[in-house]
Every structure is written in structure tokens, then in C-alpha cells.
Structure 1
């Protein structure tokens, strides 16, 4: 039986090629995802470990206090503590560090680096005047508020050299600093394309923290002193509250764990799409083996007649599947390694922060690829193998095996209807729940399974709708329609592969378009401001920006938004400070109770969700403990409908600012005399020094920025889901090729009675087109339903959400389904037309 299985694989190489390709694509996606995430995780882990090479013990603010964001949080680490740490037994040295966002402009004024990887810090000179962390390649360490040093990678990229004057920005205003030194560093973010600027310690403290304070103190151990022993010694000099000591090994391990957690989400998402590709591939594999078994009815029945048992026949089919899966798994693993390397290169080319490091192919990746390829193929072939074993020897007398019984069809349709009904019910119930994600997900899975099972039943009426169009193509069109519904199960399996991909693509497109529409309405409904000014990386903005904008003749109203931790009663709450005088001119809030009024002194307005949760209403007096620990009372004057742009507890900055330790703004809203025009925007940009780190956005820019993120995510998903569509194309090709093979005698007869080669080609192409459009219509219909249902959940937290059906894109998707059908039919149609009619008529 082993020899028989091997002979069958070798005898049907062309027919099994599409199955190998389908499995290979799924395996390549899975292994590529594992290679990519392992490579990125290991690169970040190695980078983080390098960052702690010079750290044996780190003193940091107590994390439990900093997480609450409540007043009285851990105080900053000061020089006194640094001196104590440097003199504990076993300490060789102690280094104080501060860091924060620092934008570096190139010679054209454009931002160097990417987002949060553009960092600044302090050059902490030791007794020898050097900082061991940053060896100077050229020049000298920075001294004074107008000097700085730059990493060698960024300096080379921008063409800067020692002595140049460079424009930088830390919190908004442009600063011009003299470049005094270029240094080398093992910092992983710099290796990945970020930038690092260093200032002398007093300047860095003023920019990133507060004078005389540090964000971390790193202690080096003397030779022979363990990190644990040094940690015990350091803990004795720590203040009772507000600081904690951690070993360098523990910090490196914690960071490695955080990196693993952060990449797990990405890995899960990528593997989900790989699973979709494999899920679609299962239909193709099962379809392939079903048809192979059907074509070998006589052969298998003869094997039974000469003594082969049912178990041996099943084992023979599964052995074929094992061999096909093994070949696909090995080739898929090789392709996956290439995909992993390509994904990393793609991330680096888009400016994402990815440290350097080797490509990682772990044993678990190899094992997963082999298991996925082989197990999926064998499982998909199990049912056809089981059916093959049930072929009675008497079937050897007939060329056609018995069709499915009425009982089996009734059972199939009943099961499908139950699954589909339960799925629809689950999705509809979830739309009315406050948190129905899990229920909706379960309902969606049940509905998909139900539709899969019912697809053979649905194929006849839906394909019949195309009959008037197909009749226009004469006898070829009529034959194409009859062939498409001749074997509903095969047609269903082929169409289902395409349906899965289009369901997801359509659903995601509906959701993305509707969310974008909701955001547009939100910006229009809640903002009167012409512009919103913020840091390009959404880091804190200097209050000087609001002052500068407020001094311009063009500006009629301005309000910075700033957050401050507080405690109302015993519960931690964030307060949002605004310019009470101008806030009403810049926003259009929908008040459910009370009104904005004169937002000054102790008056405050609260969003409806917070008010309902706390039981507040106009007139409620709120006992508040501010950031500096001082107490006061706020009076609620109104409750408004919050949204993603404006929400929380709002009060006047004049009330809030005296209690803040450091004044920074999240953004600044601006109203101008002539509204949002190009000339006005240029005026604001010039007034802010043409700063590359500052974004001046009108309402359209705000919504376009969000749309850009949505479209970027959507395009990534389209690329990933294209894998499922490619697999579906292979499925259609596979089905048509086998259909042509088993209908060789029929096609030969058609040719003999006068149907020319062009007519044969047209018949096969139209059959492929009808099957593909059938899958496309089902997929788009399900996608719209799922998009609507998911929108009902989103709408509960976004009042401006509105269902938008992207008719244009759905037309493109349907056209894509048609294109799949046309392309998939090229080879089978050509093969059918080239059949020798006499040989085909004589074929068994």
C-alpha cells in the first residue's frame, strides 16, 4: 500500500501541485511570522541588555506610586541621594541620568529620526571628565546651555560636524545649539535609525525634569561585588518612600519580558491571518483529495476486491497527504524565512525602530512549520480517505460512484441552518450588549460555519440568477451554468475559499470607512477652533507655544489643554486644564445638564460617563487634592457628552497651574480672524520658528491624520488577506483543472459534435467566472453584515459613528472576484481546448 500511495503521488504531480502551493503559502506565512517576531524580539532583547552593561543597580522612583498618577507621587531623585549611592560599600561609581524627547532638524529643516526614538539625555562626566556610556569620537563634551553632543550615526546622516549650529526642539520652541562633540553608542534605538542628543547635566535636568533631579541613578559595583550585595547596600540609603533599587539583571529581564509582550500582539495578529490562509487552504486540500478519490473509484474498488481492507485504503490516502504536506512544509519553511527577512527590511524602510541583529530561525519555528504543513494536509484529507474506504468492491463495475443520498443532504442542510441561525442570533444579541465582543466573535464563527455548510444549497438559486446573462453566450454559457451546479459540493468548496477572504476584507473596509466618517463628524461637531497645535510625536508641549500664539494679531482665541493627576475624595482622577475665558469660543460641547458658563475659579464641567459613574450633577461639590498635595473644592456647573477628542473633568488653567510641579501642555487650540487658510497656517508655522517637531493642524488635517493611520492599518490587512485570496485562486484553478480532467470524455464529445476550441475555452472561463462571483457575492454580503454588527458596538462608545457602505470599494472587490475567475481559468481552459477529441472519447 505504501508503494501504491507513492506511485499515486508521482502519477498525479500536476494535480497535486496546486495543493502543495496552497499549503506552502500558509506554512510560509506562519513560519515567516514566527521568524520575524523572534528576530525582532531577540534584537530588542540584545539591545536592552547592552543598555544595562554599565548598570549593576538602578535607583528609580517607586513604580507603584508612579502608576497611580495620584498627587503626592514619588519625588524625583536628587543629588544628595546620588552622593549617598556613590559611597555605599561595594559601589565603584554612581551616574545620574535624565532623558526625554529631543527633535533634531537636518540642514533642510526636516525631522531626523522617528517619533519616540528621537531622544535626548545628559552627559554625566565622571572624575576623569568622561561618561563611559558615550565615548567621544570627535570634539568634546557639551558645557553650558547652548552646547550639545550628537550620536555619530545621526551626525553622519545629516552631514553635521563639530562646530556646526543645529536647530533642535525639546518641548516646542526652536533652540539653536552648538555641536561640540560626536559620540558612539550601543543604544539600540540609535542603531535602528533613531537619534540621541546629549546636554550637560544641569541643562538636561532643566529640559527634561527639574533642576537638581534625576529620573534614574545607576550604580556600578566594584570588582568582586555581586549585584545582589550592592542592591542590599544601596537599599539602606534610600528614602523610606518614593524610591526603589533594582539589579541590572532584573531590569534587563523585565525589559525583555516587556518586549516579548509587546511583540506578542503583533505575532498574534499575523498568525491570525496565517490561520485564515490555512483555513482557506483546507478547503482546497479537501476538495483536491475528494476529487482524486472520486477519479480513482475503480482503482480503489479493485484494491478492495483483491483484498485491501478499509483501513489500508484510508491509510493509503492519508499517506499521500503526508507526502504532499511534507514537501509543502519544507518549501514553505524556506519561503517563510525569506518572508521574515523581508518583513524586517520593510519595517526598517518605513522608519520603524528595529535594532540590528541576526535573523533568528528557532527550532520551535521549524517544528511549527512542519507540524502545520503536515497536520493540516492530513486532517483535510482524512474525510476523503474515509469516504474512499467505504467504496464497495462492486463499484469497480461502474465508472461513476454513487451520488450523495437525500438523507445526507437533509442532515447537512439542517446542521448548516442550525449553525447559521445560532450565529445570526449571537451577533444580533451582541449588538445590544455593552461589551459584546466575545459573544459577537462566537456568533460570527458559527455563522461562517453555517454558511459553509449551506453553500451547496445556496449555489443553485444564486447561480441560476446568472442564467439570463450566460444565455447571451450561447451554448457555451448554458453548459457553463450547468457545469457550475452539477457538483454543488465542489462548487461550494471552491467558492468558500474566496468567500472567507472577501468577508474579512469587506467587513474591515466597512468598519474603517464608518469610523472615519464618525471622526470627521466628531471634529466638525465638537471643535470651533481653526487649528490644533501639538508636538508631532504627541509628547508634552511647552507653555511658551500657547503664549507665543496668543500674542499674534491673527489669533482671536487660544486655549492650551493640560493634564494633572489629582484625587477627588479617595479616588485618583486626572484634571484637564483649559483657558476658561476662551474655551467656549473654541469648542462646541453638547451639554446634557447645566451649561459651560463662566469656567473660572472652582467651577468645572464633567463628561457624562464620568458623571454617571460618580453620581455627579450640576451643583455637586467635589473635594479635590491637587498634584502638590494641597486641597480645594470644585463645583460642577455642567455635564457634557464626551468624545475621543474632548472628555474628562475640565477646569480653568488659572486654578490648576499653581498646583502643578511642571507646566506642559498636551495641545493648544487656536481660533483665528480669517479661519483656516493656507496663509494663516503659514503665519502660525513661521511664528513657531518653522519647527519640524510641531504640528499645526486644521480640522481636515486632524481627520486626515487619523484616516492615514486607519488606511495604513487597512492596507497592511489587505496585504495580509491577499494571501487568502491567492490561496483561493489556486483553489479555483485546482477545481477547474480536475473538472476538465474528469469531463475529458464529455469535452471530447462536444468537440466531436461541433463545438470549436474557442467555445470550449469560453465554457470553462464562464464556469470559473460564475463560481468566483458566487463566492464574491457571499463574501461581500457577509462582510457588510459583520461590518454593520461591529459598528453597533463601536457606536456605543462613539456617538458620531455612522454606517458607511463603500460602494466603490465593494464594486472593486466584486471585480477582483471576477478577475480571480478569469485568471484561474486560463490554464484549465487552454488544456480543455487542446484535448484530442478521439483520445478523450475513448478515455475511461
Structure 2
């Protein structure tokens, strides 16, 4: 039986080619993802491990006192005094203080270096011998005063800055200048990943980063002292709200963090790889169903001469094993290329990744082989089982066995139950339940596709009528085998279902943000600094501009209200009402003044508050309690929510006055001239000046970026679906050689034969597209109900333009997929084809 299976594979190489390609692509996606994440994680870990060489024990704030950069944290007492005590502990070689914070560096064109996520500043703390072990200087020297700054070598190379050059930088909106005193190498993970790191002398760093104490104190053990022993000494001097962590534990924590970060990316990529493989199952099942159908007499003869059902099934599964093995090996090789491509893609735009040798874990090889072989055998099992169940005499008498009515009835009943269950789950609020519901609906519709194919293809008759006899023949050929047509269309349906649902949600979300900005903002501009806060002087500069009519800072603190922590937004009461438009259920913005507060409906419900009630607040920073009268209750949204009070109320409870953003209204409204005046007055490379459209576009841009990434990932599933259409048509043409030969013999020209096959492909593709788009629209609508509960301005919008593009793409897919099968059909010799069985 093994020799028989091997000979069948070799005899049907061309017909199994598309199946091999489908499995290979899915496996390549999986193996490429695994290799890439393993390689990236290992290189990142090796690079960043260097940053802990100088740390034996680190003193850090505990979780309750970690700094948020808003000036409202509880002090953790990581002071110079504690630093000096740590440096003189028994077994300590030296101790250094560490501070870090967002620091925007301007390049020679005045643009931000390192991106908003990776622009970092730190301090140079001269430890033992007057050196900071974190930095290895290759040029120049360490910064010694506020007039000096040091740059990492990668940033210096990208910007062209050299020792002695003057640079501009900003931490809180103020633009400062300094001379490059030195250039250093570092293994800092942010720098390795494309960010920038500037180093200031210790006192300047504390001042400009708005730190009254260190973020961390690193202690190095002297020779002969273990980390655990040094930790026991450190723990004796720890103040409240601090922890001591060994260097090994820091390294382990970072390794786990890297695994989580790379794991999240890996899970996303593997999800789409799984979708691609799932789509491939339909192609494999279709291929083996047709191969078994074409060999029905052969298999029946094997049964007649003594082969058991099990042997027939095993013969088909052996063929699947050989095909899956070849595809898995080829897919693994292609996966290595995909891994390299992902690295190049992620390494573009100066966002360099750590370099290291390719990591091919044994588990990756094992998973790749098992997945390729397992998926192929799983898809081939049902056709093999069906082949074994056909009685030998019946099989010899009829090549094409019609599915039993009872079998179709059972199938349709199961499909309907799956769809009903999926709809119930999809309408739930829990995201995981909704995802399970979406998957269940997809499975149900896939089961029902043979039932749905007949009415759809019948409805396509008017579109095919202009093509005459070829249109009629293509329609009849499409419904000749509903199961085959359904499986081919289902592969395309899955990809388009996901794409359509995501497009509906993304389009609706963008519109919701636009409406929210239009409804909530009266201000013309919002001035902010990503990943950092603004000094109050920034607002003072803005107010001095002649075009500015009114402005207000948004300043935040945290406080406890009846046991729950809330964010308190400090604003200027006199101008706040001119800058925002809140939807009040009671009270109004005019009631906001010293001693009063505005609360959103969620806070009011949680604290059982209404207008006129008293709200007690205990500030986290100093532990003091104040009482504010509720002047109004409003409906919160993504832009404005929480508690609003006067800045004069929260300022006494902040160690540093810093603004989250400044809202600005100009006399003539938003204009290019007014925006340019604000930008020029501030002059910081990192300050963002946004009007309403910019705020909406920033959110919409992020959504579009994610959507485009998902389009790219789902393109793999679409490509595999195209292979499925090609495979189905090619094998269908082979089955119908006798019929096509007769058509050619009685006068149907070769161009018409090509047209018949092309129209059949288009009908099948459009069937899958209509199912996928319809299902995607329903899922997008159902998911929107859950989103609308959180974003009040959200309403489901149908992206008509993109749906038309999706339908047009389906037509193109059909035309392209039919090129090879149509050419094969047209080139048949009529006499030879008529002789074939």
C-alpha cells in the first residue's frame, strides 16, 4: 500500500502542486515567525545584558511609589544621603545614582531624533575613579556642567554631530542648548532599537528632568562579596517604599519582559499564520476529494482484490503525509527567508534592531514539520474515509457518487446550529466570548456553503446571460458539485470576512473620533509633548502671542475618593468653558471655581454623587484631604473624563507644576499662520501643536497603520485562496476532458472555452466574496454595539468604497486564477479528449 501511495503521488505531481504550495506558504509563515522572534529575542537579550554588568544590587521605589512624571508621586527617599550610605556598606565597591526621562534632541534640521518613544535622557554619575560604568566613551569626555551634553554613538552617527558641536534639546518644552562633550557606546535597549540617549551631568539631569531624587541606586559588590550577601547589607538601610533587587533578578526580569514583548508580536503573527493554514485545509481537502473521485474505480478494484477499508484510508493518508512532509521542509526553508525579510522590514527607517546569529530552536523544526504534515493529513482524512466507505461494486459502476440526501440534511442542520450559537456568543460583552462567537459563525457558514451556493449562483444568471452559452455552461458547472464549489469559495470567504469586519470597525472608529473632537472641543489647538509634560512657562509664552484669545492648562494629580483612586484634572475655571463643550446631565461648566468640581457620570455613579454633593479627596502626594462641592455632572468621553477642578485647588499638593497639555483658542480660529506662530514661539522639536483635524487624524492614522498591517498579513490567506481556485479549476478541467472535447468538436471555439472557465472562476470567487463581505459586515455591526458602550459617539458605518474594491478584487482573483486552467482546457485535442474516460 505504501508503494501504491508513493506511485500515486509521483503520478499526480502537477495536480498536487497547488496543495504543496498552500501548505508550504502557511508553514513558512509559522516557521519564519518563530525564527524571527527567537533571533530577535536572543540578540536583544545579549545586548541588554551588558547594562547590568555594573549592578549587583539595585535600590528602587516599590510599586506604590513609582514615579509617573506628574509631580504627584509619593517620595521614595532615593536621595544623595542614601546613595552615600550605600556606597560605604561592607562589601560595596561603589554606588551610583540613576535618573532617566524623556529628552528630545533636535537634529541639524531641527527635527526630533529617536522618535517620540525612544528619545531618552540620563545622568552621568561619577562613581569609583570618577567614572560612570554605564558609558564607554569613544570620543571626548563626560559632561561636567549644564553647558555639556554627551551623545550615544548611534545617534551621533545618524545626526552627524561631533564633539564640540552645539545641539538643542528639551525635556519639558523649554529649549536648551549645550556643547557635545563626548560620544559613548551603550548597550541600552532603547538605543539598540533605534532610540536616542543623551547624557547630562548629574545635577543638570536632576534639574531638567524634574527629579528631586534618583529613580534607582545601583550598588556594585566588591571582589569576594556575593550579590545575596550585599543585598542583606542593603536591606538594613532601606527607607520606606523601596525595594532591593539583585542584578541577577534584574536580568531575569528583563528577560521575562523581552519574552512578553516578543511573545505578543509572535502571537499576532502566529494567529494570521494559523488563519493561512486553516484556509489551506480547504484546498487540501478539495484536492484529495477530487483525486479520490478520479481514482474511484482504482480504489474499488483494490477493495475487490482484498484491500480493507483501513488500508484504503491509510493509502490516502500516506499520500497526504508525503505531500505534507515535502511542503513542510520547503516551507521551513522559505520561513528562513521570511524571517530575514521581517528583520529588514523592522530595521527600516533607522529603527535598527540588535544583530545576532540566526536562532533555529529544535522546537521550531519540530513544530514546522508536525504542523505541515498534521494539517495535510487532517484535511485528507475525510476524503480517504469516504473513499473507503464506497462499496466496490457501486464504485465500479459509477465514477461520481452523489452525496446522500440524509448526509446533506445532517450537514445543514449542524451548520445552522453553529451559526445560531455563534450569533448568541457574538452579541455578548466579553471580548473573548465575542471572538469565539465570530469563529463559531465562520465554521457554521462554511458548513452551510453547499446549501448557499445554489441560490447565489442561480441569482448570478442575469449577469452571465450576456455571455450566451458560455455563461450558461459556467453557471451549470459551478453548481455541478456544490461541496467543491463551497470549499473553494470558503477559503476566500475567511480572509474577506476578517478584512471587512476590521475595515467596518476602523472606519466607524475614525468617524467616532472625528465626531468626538468636533463635539467636545471649542479650542482651536492642543499643545502637548508626547511622553512628557510641559513646564507652566510654556503656557505663559503662548498667552503672550497676539493671536491667542484664551488658553487653559490641563494639569493632573491623583487622589483617593472613598477608597478608589481618581485622576484630578486641574484647569483654569475662567477660560475652560470657552475651550471645551461638555454634555452635562446636571449643573454646568459655569459652576467651576475655587472649591468646586465637575465629575463625569461614571465617577458620579461610582461615588453616588449628584450636583450639590460634597466630594472628599485625599491627595496621594502629601496625604492631605480637601472637600469640593460638585458643580456639575457631565458625560465623559475619550478626550475628557474624570474630575475637573481649578489648578489653584491641586497645585498646593504637587511637588512640581507640570501640564499634560495646553488648550488654546485663537482670535481668528485655526489657521496656518496661527499654528506657525505657536510653533515658532515654542521652538521645541518635540512639542506637538494639533488642531481638531490633527487630533482626529492622529488616531485615524494609528488605526489605518494597524489596518494596513492586518491587510498585509491577511494577504497570505487570500493568496492561498487563489491557489485553491486554480487547483479546483485545473482538476475540474481534467475531470471534464471528455465533455470539453465534445464541446470543441461540435463547434465551440477555443476562445469560448477559455471564457467558460474564466466565468466559472469569477462566479466561485464572487460567491466567496459576497459571503465574506456579508459576514464581515454583520460581525462589524455586532462588535460595534460593545464599542458604542465605551465610546458614545461610535456608530457603525459601511465603507462602501472599500467594499466595492473588495468585490472588484474578487473578480480579478477569479480572472487570474483561471489563466492556467483556461489555457489547459482550450489546448485540449478534441479527438484525444473524447476518447478519455
Specify the TM-score bucket, using the shorter chain as the normaliser: over 0.9
TM-score computed with the length of structure 2 as normaliser: 0.98
In 2, Cα distance between equivalents of 1:473 and 1:568:
74
**Whole-angstrom distance in 2 between the partners of 1:426 and 1:166:** 58
Q: Please, what TM-score do these two structures have when normalized by structure 1? A: 0.97
Q: Which runs of 5+ in 2 are unaligned?
A: none
Give the equivalent residue in structure 2 for 1:175: 176
Question: 2:71·2:658 contact (CA, 8 Å) conserved in 1?
Answer: no
Higher mean displacement: 618-627 or 456-465: 618-627
Does structure 1 conserve the Cα–Cα contact (< 8 Å) formed by 2:67 and 2:73?
no
In the aligned structure 2, how far is the partner of 1:238 from the partner of 1:371?
53
Q: Aligned equivalents of 1:276 and 1:824: distance in 2?
A: 21
Question: Are residues 425 and 74 of structure 1, via their aligned partners in 2, closer, same or farther at CA, if it must alter by over 3 Å?
Answer: same
1:601 aligned onto 2:601 = no
Deviation at 1:784, TM superposition (A): 0.5
Q: Cα distance 1:78–1:813, how it changes in 2: closer, same or farther (>3 A)?
A: same
In the alignment, structure 1 residue 232 sits paired with structure 2 residue 225 = no
Q: Which residue in the other structure is 1:319 paired with?
A: 318
Which deviates further from its counterpart, 59-68 or 812-821?
Answer: 59-68
Offset at 1:470? 1.2
Structure 2 distance, partners of 1:688, 1:42, is 42
Structure 2 residue matching 1:120: 3-state secondary structure:
strand
Change (3 A) 1:643 1:347: same
The answer as to whether partners of 2:461 and 2:475 remain within 8 angstroms in 1 is: yes
Q: CA deviation at 1:340?
A: 1.7
Q: Helix, strand or coil for the counterpart of 1:592?
A: strand
Distance in 2, matches of 1:359 and 1:657, equals 54
For 1:687-702, what aligned pairs fall within 5 Å after superposition?
A: 687-689=681-683, 691-702=684-695
Moved more, 139-148 or 635-644: 139-148
Match of 2:720 among 724, 727, 738: 727
Q: SS of the counterpart of 2:150?
A: strand
Asked if residue 832 in structure 1 is aligned to residue 825 in structure 2, the reply is yes
What residue ranges of structure 1 are gaps of 5+ in the alignment?
none
Does the CA contact (< 8 Å) of 1:557 and 1:582 recur in 2? yes
Tell me the equivalent position of 2:781: 788
Match of 1:575 among 562, 568, 576: 568
RMSD: 1.6
- Residue 683, structure 1, aligned to residue 684, structure 2: no
Superposed counterparts of 1:350-749, under 5 Å? 350-352=349-351, 354-395=353-394, 397-427=396-426, 429-430=427-428, 435-535=429-529, 537-626=530-619, 627-689=621-683, 691-749=684-742
* Cα distance in structure 1, aligned partners of 2:485 and 2:99: 65
Q: Secondary structure at the match of 1:77?
A: coil
Q: CA deviation at 1:642?
A: 0.4
Structure 1 residue 804, shift from structure 2 partner: 1.1
CA contact (8 A) 1:117 1:353 kept: no
Structure 2 residue corresponding to 1:815, chosen from 805, 808, 814:
808
Contact 1:554/1:672 (8 A) holds in 2: yes
1:113 is displaced (CA, Å) by: 1.0
- Equivalent residues of 1:150, 1:197 under 8 A apart: yes
Matched, 1:153 2:154: yes
What's the CA shift for 1:399? Answer: 4.5
1:404-427 Cα offsets, whole Å, 9 max, x none, are: 111111111122222222323333
Taking the aligned partners of 2:343 and 2:589, their CA distance within structure 1 comes to: 51
Structure 2 Cα separation of the partners of residues 401 and 159 of structure 1: 74
Contact 1:54 1:133 in 2 (8 A): yes
CA distance in 1, matches of 2:434, 2:442: 12
Q: d(CA) in 2 for partners of 1:557 and 1:353?
A: 43
Cα distance in structure 2, aligned partners of 1:55 and 1:209: 25
The corresponding residue for 2:260 is: 261
Secondary structure at the residue paired with 1:128?
helix
Task: Tell me by how many angstroms 1:457 deviates.
Answer: 1.0
CA contact (8 A) 2:591 2:632 kept: no
Aligned residues: 835
Runs of 4+ more than 6 Å apart: 67-72
Take 1:436 and 1:235, find their aligned partners in 2: how far apart are those partners?
Answer: 44
Distance in 2 separating the partners of 1:71 and 1:145: 26
Match of 1:281 in 2: 280
Partner of 1:44: 44
Shift in Å at residue 396 of structure 1?
5.1
Counterpart of 1:800 in structure 2 is: 793
Residue in 1 aligned with 2:58?
A: 58
CA contact (8 A) 1:192 1:353 kept: yes
Moved more, 137-146 or 741-750: 137-146
Deviations 1:472-519 (A, max 9, x none): 111111110000001000000000000000111001000000000000
Is the CA contact 1:71–1:629 (under 8 Å) kept in the aligned structure 2? no
For 1:658 and 1:27, the matched residues in 2 are separated by 61
Match for residue 118 of structure 2?
Answer: 117
SS in 2 for 1:472: helix
Deviation per CA, 1:495-549: give whole Å up to 9, x if none.
00000001110010000000000000000000000001111x3322222211211
Q: 1:135–1:89: structure 2 CA closer, same or farther, 3 Å change rule? A: same
SS of the equivalent of 2:135 reads: coil
Equivalent-residue separation in structure 1 for 2:119 and 2:256 (angstroms): 23
Query: What residue number does 2:80 align with?
Result: 79
